Structure 1
Amino acid sequence: MNPTSPPSSRGFLYDIPAESDDEGYDEVIAEDVPIEGDFTFRAVAVGLGVGVILCMTNIYFGLQTGWVSMMSLQSALLGFALFKLLPHLPSLFPASRPLTPQENVVLQTTAVATGTMPLAAGLVGIIPALEMMTLKEDGRNPIKLGYWSLVAWCLAVAFFGVFLAAPLRRQVIVKEKLVFPSGTATAQLISLLHKIPPPSQSQDRQSTGRVYRRLPRTSRSVSPPGYTVGETSEDSRQGVEKDSEVMKGSGWWALGWSFFASGALTVLSFLFPIISAIPVFDVFSLPFGTSLAANWLWWFTPSLSYVGQGIIMGFPVTISMNIGMLVGWAVLSPLSKHLGWAPGPVGSTTEGARGWILWVALAIMIAESIISLLPITISSTSTLIRHYKQRSSGPRIFQPSSSPRTSNVTEDDYYDPLDEHEDDDPENEPPERLVPMSWIKAGLIASAVLGVGLVWAVFGKDGIHPWATALGLLLASMLSLIGVRALGETDLNPVSGIGKISQLLFAILQPGNVVANIIAGGVAEAGAQQAGDLMQDLKTGHLLKASPRSQFYGQMIGSLASVFVATAGYKFYTSTYEIPGPQFAVPSAGIWLNLARLLNNGHLPSHVIPFMLSFGLIFAAISALKAFKKHLPQYKWINYLPSGIAFAVGFLNAPSFSIARLIGGYIAYRTSKASPSGETPLMAIVVASGFVLGEGVLSIITLTMASFGMKAVSCFGCGIAGGGYCSGGC
């Protein structure tokens, strides 16, 4: 659409008569004028502070269950709360200048770049996997990197994904206008926090040079995630108004109390370990002096953080996870043990039932990842072919004065991989707010050379060849196109599938080398994962008119800071706790290592192959049905089929974590039923955020206590009737 077209009458772009005065309006933001001043010291400083909290939280949850989150909503919420709570610091929080929505975008962008490094650098996956290798099975001793070697590894993968994201922005966000649900939801939350008209996809699709028009106080409403402004439903309006009231006071109290409750329970669980492993499933067997359920790792952990995760995940995902838990831990685990296929201790990831069912989970994850990538691969390929034919059919025609970019625009100013045609919206940002193409080219080359050199320096000739690392980066570049598109359409970044595809390829290119297989997969996954996560932030910035260049600066600063923060956090945990161990099972590391072993040595546990093939085929079929369900609208039951990845996670995590998440999922279900909009209300999301952040932050305190040798105050109830309760605390 031509950028000079008038705005729609729907949504929040209201036409104001020329004779209207300013009475009744809260704020005026000029049209067709870029918002400046979003990259500020205070936004970056607070973003780094929030990012450090998220980074440590993600290390904690990642090592425990493999769950790592962008937490973009939590970043924006927590950053805004800090500005509300600390107005007396004039250097960072001048009372005369409130935090702007665009500053909040830069803040959360910096925080996300800082907080997601544990996954991008493989600190909850490939690094523990290298430390779990054995001379007997892998032909070499474990690789345990020191602090500076780990810093060098993190630097090797820290920036390539950032430079990958910048050039993709124009194609997938500006031209194709992919939804990027989490990025859109974050933009809606920020608009709610700052009391500005909420953005919507309808507004984005018109892509004018306008920013915001004035909105009457009586009409101003804000939308939480899931709401679309402009709906005519009275229930939807009531939901919007209700959620608008949440952040006027009650929401902040809910965030504070949920944070306090979760943190207090975390500390109490450290002091009294029985709290973290309540023997509810042995209530009938304990009087007889046995603890059958505990011997099979069945107990209940009343973790509010996992309840919060369940609220965020939603009821369908937690249902799939718990079905997987029942199949894995109540059927396959006892079966493998009693038939002698897994003779070791139940909790062992090498010889026990836990390790045996892990292979079935791996088959499910590979099958779903590959099948789910097919439709998006086909779509991406057809789009590229179509654009290539359009480009080849004739010369480009530029319309003068059609956008702010038509003057003084050079090839170096922005990335334009495909031709514009009449159905595409042009870039509506001026060149000085974009990342120049020269920076992108230089950055990709420099980060690739840095990555290849540092990986070679860290792992040497016995690890991975430089050409193999370079190929891994090239693979990341290609697969990131698929990953970003999938994320934009479904909110799911298929990085696990991308990593496994890389492992399959490198089993052929560098056979017999488990280390090279793991590292190559990690390099490819890191680039694709980072590009996808940062694209969500760029979507947020696009909707709220934040400068892409400012976001790029925040991403670079956050990624650099997180190299040192994430490394320190990981070394802190591994020096204090046994990893893998009772408290931190590191399930993601087991997946990486077992697949590498399979591809290089071909050894599988007894009788596991039929189960891998059966479950793999079942979930390949389910994934295919879900991928093409838009072509089968008459079969409504497809929507109720379980998610393969969530089902497999039920295998990977001990039952206590899945049960707590189910409670949260049920809370999300009940609150959404009671909500006029049918969506999970904002208050539930706020409480869930407090639960997750509370345990994540206070776990740093318990980690410090443990590092100084402090132990539980009382081990009462642990080991009842010889059961495995409290094995991590006493």
Structure 2
Amino acid sequence: MGISSILHQQTQDVESEGKNVEGHQGGGFGTYILGMSGKLANGNVGSDEKNTEEPNIGRLVAFLFLINFAGLFMILPLRKMMIVRHRLTYPSGTATAHLINSFHTPHGASQVRQQVFTLFKSLGATVLWPLFQWFFAGGKGCGFQVFPTFGLTAYRRGFYFDFSTTNVGVGMICPPMITVSMLAGSILSWGILWPCIETKEGQWYPKNLEANSLSGITGYKVFIGVSMILADSLFTFLTALVRTLYLLRKRRSRVQTATLAGPPPSQCLSATERTIQSFDDRRRTHVFLRDRIPGRVAVAAYAALATASTAAVPRLYPQLRYHHVALAYLVAPVFALCNAYGAGVTDMNMSTTYGKIALLVVSSWVGAERGGVVAGLVACGVIAAAVSSASEFMQGLKTGYLTLTSPRAVLVGQVVGTTLGCVVNPAVFWVFYRVYDMGVLDVADAPYAKVYQGIVMLSAGRHGLPQHSLLLCKLFFALALALSAAREAAERRQWRALPYLPSTVGVAVAFFAPPKMPVGMAVGSLTLYLWKRADRSGARMLSAAVASGLICGDGLGSMVPSMLTFFKAEPPICVKFISRTANAELNAYLAPHPMPKA
């Protein structure tokens, strides 16, 4: 099984659920960390000194070290129950194990070499693309990133292709329904709803506000999208809870029935091993249980890490008090158990949902006047990091179980990887955040940071919101619940309409994400569709490698113009697109002043 097959299987899970657009935000750089920034607040409600904290690389490294390790030891004592006794699937961990096992076959090794070669070709070409674009961006509004693909009127509404290879790559990986949902959400919001609300300027909200003010049109964009995401998160949480309780009850009744019936004849296995059917499973269980990690050691490690975090996090972020952090670590194991079990059944990591619950509770508890914005976002990070790391660790243990890897080796690898992530990720984020200061990138292009900031604004203080915004939020909250319920019912009953029901989160994200993002994703989906029509087997095997190269190359390539800007280099050419009327006026103005010949 190749890389593309694995990613295809995982994206099919996303398509069937339609709820994983947000993804796993373990580091929180694009969500709650950037949501604390004063640049994103930009003078909005809750943007005073108590409610903003500019990212600092030293504080970020310390904060990530404090919150990202507790989840590993929190879930460690439950590994036998989850993987051996209940035999949970953990689809991502299982797919990764099959991928690793396929490396050791001649066909698998040859296929992987071809995929890696394609990845590096895509990566190299994408790294050079931003440098080519830089030469033609010698002024404001210049360059290919402002290409009016669908005309100037659509361009002013944000509908254009900005040649972002990241969006193209994401569109090649994401299910087509996610892309279609985002396009539909963009048309509904940026094409219809926002132009209608803009006609109410001066009636529903004051005139001449800053572009990013939450008291104006941006408030409608953020809060309506936030209400839809909250509705979907609430529905997902309740559905997963009911499903988990049902499966636990069903499994318990099955065990009781097997106990009353007695052990099978001529089988001298322990109660744990009775469910194992094959020699391979017995061998895997033997390896998995051979290296014992005492439960008391894991509990003691979790208690020590929670204590250190409780003592240190309020020193990094004084808006959050000691009892807030202690309470978070008391409830985190319950959330981690629910999330790990749900991930084992459905492959859905709902850590961000639990983080939003902590955000709502703590921000309303503290209040905006005492820094509730920062307190809620930090509490969200504590819960989300602990719950997410626990779930991902169980995925890794499932991979280790299927590949005959020692749990101790998996734990050591997870600790080493988490340690590197706590250093490398903040450093990379810091480089790009400094690029914002140089004007190369726009900090407002972080849609999920707006989501988290919008949630905390609603819970910490509602003053300053535009008129009728709460009414519209309630309306779209109800619509999102109905859409989520319709998708769930269609999936359970196998309705024919299921492929045509849009993803709630996909529609919601488009309400505040610029339309150029779904347009770029649509280009990627269309490219993959045409590739499959021409060569289905090649597209299936290599599309994930090409998409990965486009995404990674864009991130690396953006550092090239950043370094040129840092050294005060100026692009030599300006390519600008104007209307025919403006061009005629420009020619008439330049006629008496002919340009000098080269």
Both proteins in one fold, TM over 0.5 = yes
User: Following superposition of structure 1 onto structure 2, how do residues 634-673 of structure 1 map, counting pairs within 5 Å?
Assistant: 635-671=495-531
Which residue does the alignment assign to 2:550?
A: 691
- The C-alpha deviation readout for 1:72-110, integer Å capped at 9, x for no partner, is 969x99xxxxxxxxxxxxxxxxxxxxxxxxxxxxxxxxx
Which residue does the alignment assign to 1:171?
A: 81
Distance 1:494 1:552 in 2: 22
Alpha carbons of 1:372 and 1:458: their partners in 2 closer, same or farther (altered >3 Å)? same
Alpha carbons of 1:705 and 1:139: their partners in 2 closer, same or farther (altered >3 Å)? closer
Which residue does the alignment assign to 1:567?
A: 426
Which residue does the alignment assign to 1:488?
A: 344
Which residue does the alignment assign to 2:564?
A: 705
User: Following superposition of structure 1 onto structure 2, how do residues 519-668 of structure 1 map, counting pairs within 5 Å?
Assistant: 519-578=378-437, 582=442, 585-603=445-463, 604-629=465-490, 631-633=492-494, 635-668=495-528
User: Following superposition of structure 1 onto structure 2, how do residues 385-400 of structure 1 map, counting pairs within 5 Å?
Assistant: none
Deviation of residue 352 (structure 1)? 5.0
User: Following superposition of structure 1 onto structure 2, how do residues 142-161 of structure 1 map, counting pairs within 5 Å?
Assistant: 142-161=52-71
Q: Is the 8 A contact 1:333 1:354 kept in 2?
A: no
- The C-alpha deviation readout for 1:526-565, integer Å capped at 9, x for no partner, is 2222223333333333322222221211111111122222
Alpha carbons of 1:300 and 1:514: their partners in 2 closer, same or farther (altered >3 Å)? same
- The C-alpha deviation readout for 1:301-334, integer Å capped at 9, x for no partner, is 1222221111111211111111112112111221
- The C-alpha deviation readout for 1:620-655, integer Å capped at 9, x for no partner, is 12212333445423x221342111111122223211
Look up the equivalent residue of 2:323 and give its one-letter code. W
Distance 2:582 2:565 in 1: 25
Distance 1:156 1:540 in 2: 26
Question: In structure 2, which of residues 21, 32, 53 is the aligned counterpart of residue 126 of structure 1?
Answer: 32
Match of 1:558, SS state, is helix
Distance 1:609 1:444 in 2: 41
Structure 1's consecutive aligned runs of 4 or more residues displaced over 6 angstroms after TM superposition are: 386-395, 397-403, 673-677, 718-723
Question: In structure 1, which of residues 442, 460, 467 is the aligned counterpart of residue 300 of structure 2?
Answer: 442
RMSD between superposed Cα atoms in Å: 3.8
Distance 2:582 2:292 in 1: 63
Distance 2:100 2:65 in 1: 31
Which residue does the alignment assign to 1:138?
A: 46
Match of 2:507, SS state, is helix
Match of 2:398, SS state, is helix
Matched, 1:454 2:308: no
Alpha carbons of 1:195 and 1:576: their partners in 2 closer, same or farther (altered >3 Å)? same
Higher helix share: 2
Percent identical pairs in the alignment equals 23
Alpha carbons of 1:136 and 1:709: their partners in 2 closer, same or farther (altered >3 Å)? same
More displaced stretch, 438-447 vs 426-435: 426-435
Distance 1:119 1:318 in 2: 20
Distance 1:445 1:195 in 2: 44
Distance 1:526 1:579 in 2: 31
More displaced stretch, 477-486 vs 575-584: 575-584
Deviation of residue 575 (structure 1)? 2.1
Deviation of residue 159 (structure 1)? 0.7
- The C-alpha deviation readout for 1:217-236, integer Å capped at 9, x for no partner, is xxxx65xxxxxxxxxxxxxx
Structure 2: any 5+ residue segments left out of the alignment? 8-21, 138-142, 584-598
Q: Is the 8 A contact 1:152 1:454 kept in 2?
A: no
Alpha carbons of 1:302 and 1:430: their partners in 2 closer, same or farther (altered >3 Å)? closer
Q: Is the 8 A contact 2:288 2:404 kept in 1?
A: no
Alpha carbons of 1:311 and 1:347: their partners in 2 closer, same or farther (altered >3 Å)? farther
Distance 1:305 1:138 in 2: 32
Alpha carbons of 1:378 and 1:295: their partners in 2 closer, same or farther (altered >3 Å)? same
Matched, 1:269 2:133: yes
Look up the equivalent residue of 1:328 and give its one-letter code. S
Which residue does the alignment assign to 2:591?
A: none
Look up the equivalent residue of 1:160 and give its one-letter code. A
Distance 2:535 2:87 in 1: 29
- The C-alpha deviation readout for 1:591-614, integer Å capped at 9, x for no partner, is 111111111212332222333222
Look up the equivalent residue of 2:128 and give its one-letter code. A
- Name which structure has the greater RCO, CA cutoff 8 Å, separation 6+: 2
- The C-alpha deviation readout for 1:139-191, integer Å capped at 9, x for no partner, is 73122243322222112212122223434443333343443333333333333
Alpha carbons of 1:451 and 1:422: their partners in 2 closer, same or farther (altered >3 Å)? same
Q: Is the 8 A contact 2:160 2:519 kept in 1?
A: no
Q: Is the 8 A contact 1:316 1:665 kept in 2?
A: no
Q: How many residues align structurally?
A: 541
Q: Is the 8 A contact 2:377 2:452 kept in 1?
A: yes
Please report the TM-score for the alignment, with normalisation by the length of structure 2: 0.79
Distance 2:59 2:490 in 1: 47
User: Following superposition of structure 1 onto structure 2, how do residues 64-75 of structure 1 map, counting pairs within 5 Å?
Assistant: none
Deviation of residue 381 (structure 1)? 2.8
Please report the TM-score for the alignment, with normalisation by the length of structure 1: 0.66
Deviation of residue 370 (structure 1)? 0.9
Look up the equivalent residue of 1:501 and give its one-letter code. I
Deviation of residue 673 (structure 1)? 6.2
Alpha carbons of 1:388 and 1:602: their partners in 2 closer, same or farther (altered >3 Å)? farther
More displaced stretch, 426-435 vs 542-551: 426-435
Which residue does the alignment assign to 2:232?
A: 368
Structure 1: any 5+ residue segments left out of the alignment? 1-11, 13-71, 78-115, 197-220, 223-243, 283-290, 407-418, 724-730
Alpha carbons of 1:139 and 1:653: their partners in 2 closer, same or farther (altered >3 Å)? closer
Deviation of residue 347 (structure 1)? 5.3
Match of 2:287, SS state, is coil
Deviation of residue 475 (structure 1)? 3.2
Which residue does the alignment assign to 1:474?
A: 330
Q: Is the 8 A contact 1:376 1:485 kept in 2?
A: no
Matched, 1:182 2:92: yes
Distance 1:436 1:708 in 2: 55
Match of 1:647, SS state, is helix
Distance 1:631 1:145 in 2: 44
Deviation of residue 248 (structure 1)? 5.1
Which residue does the alignment assign to 2:241?
A: 377
Deviation of residue 124 (structure 1)? 1.7
Alpha carbons of 1:279 and 1:367: their partners in 2 closer, same or farther (altered >3 Å)? same
Deviation of residue 362 (structure 1)? 0.6
Distance 1:688 1:402 in 2: 51
Which residue does the alignment assign to 1:321?
A: 182
Alpha carbons of 1:421 and 1:511: their partners in 2 closer, same or farther (altered >3 Å)? farther
Match of 1:366, SS state, is helix
Distance 1:125 1:183 in 2: 25
Look up the equivalent residue of 1:570 and give its one-letter code. F
User: Following superposition of structure 1 onto structure 2, how do residues 207-286 of structure 1 map, counting pairs within 5 Å?
Assistant: 246-247=111-112, 249=114, 251-273=115-137, 274-282=143-151
Distance 2:116 2:43 in 1: 53
Alpha carbons of 1:592 and 1:136: their partners in 2 closer, same or farther (altered >3 Å)? closer
Look up the equivalent residue of 2:181 and give its one-letter code. S
Q: Is the 8 A contact 1:117 1:566 kept in 2?
A: no
Which residue does the alignment assign to 2:13?
A: none
Alpha carbons of 1:475 and 1:701: their partners in 2 closer, same or farther (altered >3 Å)? farther
Matched, 1:505 2:361: yes
Which residue does the alignment assign to 2:10?
A: none
Distance 2:118 2:226 in 1: 39
Deviation of residue 367 (structure 1)? 0.6
Distance 1:180 1:671 in 2: 31
Deviation of residue 674 (structure 1)? 6.7
